[in-house]
A and B are shown apart, each in its own frame.
Chain A
Amino acid sequence: MMYKEAFSDPARERRIFASRLIFSMFVMLLMGLVIISRYFDLQINRFQDFATDSDNNRIHVRPAPPTRGIIYDRNWEIIADNRPTSNLAIIRERAGNLDQLIKKIGSLITLSNSDIKRFYTRLKRQKPFESTPLKFNLTEKEQAILAVNQHVLGGTKISARLTRFYPKRKIFTHVVGYVGRINERESNIINPVNYSGTDSIGKTGIENFYEGSLLGEVGSEQVETNARGRVMRILDQVNPVPGSDLQLHLDSQLQKVAYEAFSGKRGSLVAIEIETGGVLAMVSAPSYDPNLFVSSISQKNYDFLLNSPDKPMFNRSIKGQYPPGSTIKPLFGLIGLQSHSITTEFKIEDPGYFLMEGIERPWRDHNSERGGHGKGVDLAKAIIESCDVFFYTMGVKIGIDTLAANSRSFGLGQKTNIDLPGERSGIMPSKIWKKQARGASWFDGDTINVSIGQGFMLTTPLQLAVMTARIASRGDLIQPQIVKSIDGVDNPIIKIAENPNISEKHWDYIHDSMRGVVHSARGTARRINENLTYTMAAKTGTAQVISIKATDEYDRSKISERQWDHALFVAFAPAEDPKIAIALIVENGEHGSSAAAPIARSVMDAYIKSTTMKNEPQGLATTNASYLKFSRGYGTYAAQ
């Protein structure tokens, strides 16, 4: 040590060291300033930017979707409600290898190929960091399996949510409709704020028409999340407003009776409560289960529904346009009387056909093979026995424009403005109509066809029901409605116009004639009066699907079933004090009296039974009393 120090120069060593250290300190100072200026820049100059970034990191606004309003029938039976279901969803950004993850899930629970296919379709439309559903309606067992394996399934999420459910399944499908996942076209129309957190929307029926009431108002939650997206606390909350509950005029029991009466048939029935215009039943057959559509329907099921020749997805009640056939006769008779074109004394002789001056071709009566209805056919007889020749004669006397103008106020040729989407207006032809629609002039032959509800004339089952209700109520022009009350507040009865000026004696005459259709010995619907405990006024109808040459016979064996005549029926009851009006059609059912009338009878029976039981719960004794009362009414007619 000492030896070495003897050779060193401590002063020089100190000097070198000191200069190096001082130089280093100067460099350190500069480097320190670099650091300070960097932190100053980040924390002072760019503070706002980073403060915003930091808040964006942690604060997320989550929509709080409202619960959809519940739909009840008139007796508060549930038709549509919301049930909790568990769905498995994937957040792509957190999932890593998507294919591997799905494979892993597939090894734990059953995943169909269509589940996976539809997942990838949805994925294309998904916003970043939002979950995409993979499988809906997990069973409890599946939920348990997934929960246990959560640690190897990063990026998956099991979410409980409320899903629409239709406990009545096929019975109310067309009128109530269904909700389904919002598609691309809809997402362009809707207000995205209202629908954030909601992925379904009313597609058809009441669900669609009352979407605004049923949806409710979206709430929001401002939440703080950590880096893994887990919610740490709720910073602010705006509660959602649940959708309004709807009470419908529809009566589940009546609807069920009507639906079941159509089993195996195609057609439609509409029943209206006369006083309010409320629709008691509205059936379109065949039907399908609306629950299929709620969590997106499989392609196979959808193709089946879409391509079936029975057109189950078509709501015949408001979209099906059929010739009304003879069911139009009471209305036209009324117009004939009121327009003084005929009187109740007016009679014709019916040889089974009708000849128009200057036209060679005769118009046949439907019972022409039996030689017609004979002599002394007045309006009542023409309605009761459904004599076409009388109406041909009368139709020409009235003229098409008078028929058309007066028919409109009974709801024909225009939309009834019922609270359902997609209603069709039918056709009540007139001279102007033909000019505009067909570019041709009107001929008397056209009037003759229209006068028995054929030719250019088309009506929907709903229009026929509305017409029947307005005849039954002696001209109360009330708009039909499905919804009775919204959140307990009654929908007002809508009167669209003043009653048409028609004298009471004409109303009596028409009502009596219609009662005769059921209750008189020659009435076309006499077969349904057996054991009838109340009075019914009605009219049968048959509508040609294909036109048959006047000289040819209608031979059912020569034409295919789909071209058989449609069977129609309109009715109201009780005849003295009408409460309910019904119109129905059985497609290719051939005869209103045999195919359609019994369905009306069963629905009427159910309605009368339920109202009498409700009004007079004592039961049998009063039922007898009302029977007697109705029998007296029938007696009055029989005496005529």
Chain B
Amino acid sequence: MQHNDFVRRIQSPGGDRKKSGSMHIDFPLLILLLALCVFGLMVLYSAGGQDLSYITRQSIFMVAGFFIMFTVAQFEVRYWEKWAFVFYGLGLLLLIAVLFFGVGAKGAQRWLDIGFTRLQPAEFMKVGVPLMLAAYLSKRFIPPTLKHISWAMVLTLLPAMLIMRQPDLGTALLVFVSGFLTLFLAGLGVRYLVIIFLTSIAAVPIMWNFVLHDYQKQRILTLLSPEQDKLGSGWNIVQSKTAIGSGGLNGKGWTEGTQSQLSFLPESHTDFIISVLAEEFGLIGILTLLTLYALLIARCSFIALNAQSQFGRLLAGSLGLIFFIYVFVNMGMVSGILPVVGAPLPMISYGGTAILTLFIGFGLLMAISTEPNRMRKTL
């Protein structure tokens, strides 16, 4: 019974593989990504004040992203497993480089200027950490032992701390969560879960007093009562909620959002772009986007469940989960149920490095999805 199921399941990815020839392309994923890109560019056009320069640059990154995705997909999964530490190591080096040579604004040093564009190395770690941990854990016993958990935490916390130094609390937390999710999928024991949870709780007062900058504390306080300082730090969230709420069911129409077009909405082309979408396309627009995201995450989970190797499973699963976390954190902070931590909306927000990172991730997913059935050989 179980054996039959097993055989049937491993046949199905093989079938997909035939359809996509030797190109290692996962078509459902591709179609969903294209849909999200088109939707994203539409919203960005409006959010950027109908300025073509934003969508031109974003399109260039998207096209480059597709190429990178296809390229990544062409390498067999085992090569990625083998060379994961290189990717991870390069990411760490870039993060260290940011600390010394980084450029930035508003007191944060987040970008590396590489001439024709700026890179945000922290973004790469959103893929780098799951990749490294999947590679590390898949070679160890499942569920992982304390020793392996400890090493995995070191591998996670190292980049997270570096990102925190920039400072970029939001990305640091997301990187930490991505590592944690990989561990969780690898079968992290319940008591370790409890320990990590309690440690995180204990870390809150320490973080508050010694790590967090004043502006970050302010953002958290703002979340608790945004109306207290409507013109100061509460402005963003009040305006964002107004934009979302005033969109209603059907929205005000594309490029007709008054909150966004008249500059009441801050950061409307980056972190707060979902407010523009909500204002102009209403709840229907929000539900459309969420449907696309849900399908994408479902496809990621499907790929993960059908992956041929433990590495593939862990990587695909954690990439899908962390993708959901991005969406949740962004939509939560913009609508005022999470603090404003600076997390872009995947595939929609303007930002080159984020787009490239996402496409690297989806390239890996495609590689996993089209992984040759090595298990059949062993059978």
Give A contacts to B, CB under 8 Å.
1, 4-5, 8, 10-14, 16-18, 20-21, 24-25, 28, 31-32, 34-36, 38-40, 42-44, 46-47, 49-51, 53-55, 57-58, 93, 224-228, 232
Assembly CA distance A283 to B229 (angstroms): 59
CB distance from B226 to the nearest CB of A (A): 13
Q: Is the CB of B290 within 8 A of A35?
A: yes
10 examples of A-B residue contacts, CB within 8 angstroms:
A1-B78, A17-B186, A34-B337, A43-B278, A43-B282, A44-B283, A46-B245, A51-B246, A57-B258, A226-B263
Q: Does B344 contact A (CB under 8 A)?
A: no
Give min CB distance, A121 to chain B, whole Å. Answer: 25
- Complex Cα distance, B304 from A16, in Å, reads 13
Assess the A20–B187 pair: CB atoms within 8 A. yes
Select A224's contact among B187, B258, B278, B337, beta carbons within 8 Å. Answer: B258
Measured between beta carbons, the chain B residues less than 8 angstroms from A14 are 313
Q: List B contacts of A17 (CB < 8 A).
A: 142, 185-187, 304-305, 310, 313-314, 317
Are A50 and B313 also in contact (CB < 8 A) when A8-B142, A44-B283 are? no
- Take A17-B185, A18-B305, A227-B263 as given contacts and tell me if A39 and B258 are in contact as well, using a CB distance cutoff of 8 Å: no
Which of B83-91, B99-107, B328-336 participates in binding chain A? B328-336
Give CA–CA (A50, B265) in the complex, Å: 14
Q: Does B241 have its Cβ within 8 Å of any Cβ on chain A?
A: yes
Distance in Å: Cβ of B135 to nearest Cβ of chain A: 12
Closest to A59 in B: B258
Chain A residues contacting B264 (CB-CB under 8 Å) are 57-58, 226-227
Q: Decide if B159 is an interface residue (CB 8 Å cutoff).
A: no
Residue among B242, B243, B297 facing the most chain A CB atoms (10 A cut-off): B242
Q: Mark B319-353, 1 if CB is under 8 A from A, else 0.
A: 00100100110011001010000000000000000
Docked complex Cα distance between A32 and B139 (Å): 33
What CA separation (Å) do A39 and B242 show in the bound complex? 12
Give min CB distance, B238 to chain A, whole Å. Answer: 8
Given contacts A28-B297, A42-B244, contact A54 B185 (CB under 8 A): no
Measured in the bound complex, the distance between the Cα atoms of B287 and A53 in whole Å is: 24
Q: Does B286 contact A (CB under 8 A)?
A: yes
**Binary contact track B213-254/A, C-beta < 8 Å → 1, others 0:** 000000000000000000100000001011111111100000
Query: Are A24 and B321 in touch, CB under 8 angstroms?
Result: yes
Contact A35 B242, beta carbon cutoff 8 Å:
no
Interface of B is mostly: helix
Cβ–Cβ < 8 Å partners of B375 in chain A: 10
Task: Add 6 more A-B contacts to A20-B186, A20-B317, A57-B264 (CB < 8 A).
Answer: A13-B187, A16-B143, A21-B317, A53-B246, A54-B243, A232-B262
| A40-B187 contact given A21-B305, A225-B262, A226-B264, CB 8 Å threshold | no
- Please report the C-alpha to C-alpha distance between residue A53 and residue B314 in the assembled complex, in whole angstroms: 47
User: With A4-B139, A28-B324 in contact, do A54 and B259 touch (Cβ < 8 Å)?
Assistant: yes
Chain B's closest residue to A38 (CB) is B335
A50 partner, pick from B142, B241, B263, B301, beta carbons under 8 A? B241
Q: Which residue of the partner chain B has the closest CB to A51?
A: B246
User: CA of A50 to CA of B321 in the docked complex: distance in angstroms?
Assistant: 33
The answer to whether B290 touches A32, judged by C-beta atoms less than 8 angstroms apart, is: yes
- Cα distance A43–B143 when bound, in Å? 44
Interface string of B125-146 (1 = CB under 8 A from A): 0000000000000010111000
Q: Evaluate contact between B258 and A58: CB separation under 8 angstroms.
A: yes
What are the residues of chain A within 8 A of B327 when measuring CB–CB? 35
A residues in contact with B292, CB < 8 Å: none
CB-defined contacts of B317 to chain A, threshold 8 Å: 17, 20-21, 24
Chain B residues, CB < 8 A from A46? 245
Contact A54–B246 (Cβ < 8 Å):
yes
**Looking across the interface, which residue of chain A has its beta carbon closest to that of B304?**
A21
Instruction: List residues of chain B with CB within 8 A of the CB of A58.
Output: 258-259, 262, 264
CA distance A175 to B324 in the complex (A): 80
- Cβ-defined contact, A53 with B262, below 8 A: no
CB of B45 within 8 Å of the partner chain:
no
In the complex, B38 has a CB within 8 A of chain A: no
Nearest Cβ on chain B to A598's Cβ, whole angstroms: 70
Q: Are the CB atoms of B241 and A42 closer together than 8 Å?
A: yes
B275-290 interface (Cβ within 8 A of A): 278, 282-283, 286-287, 290
B67 within 8 A of A: no
How many angstroms from the CA of A11 to the CA of B375 in the assembled complex? Answer: 12
> How far, in Å, is A37 (CB) from chain B's closest CB?
10
Bound Cα distance from A51 to B242, whole angstroms: 7
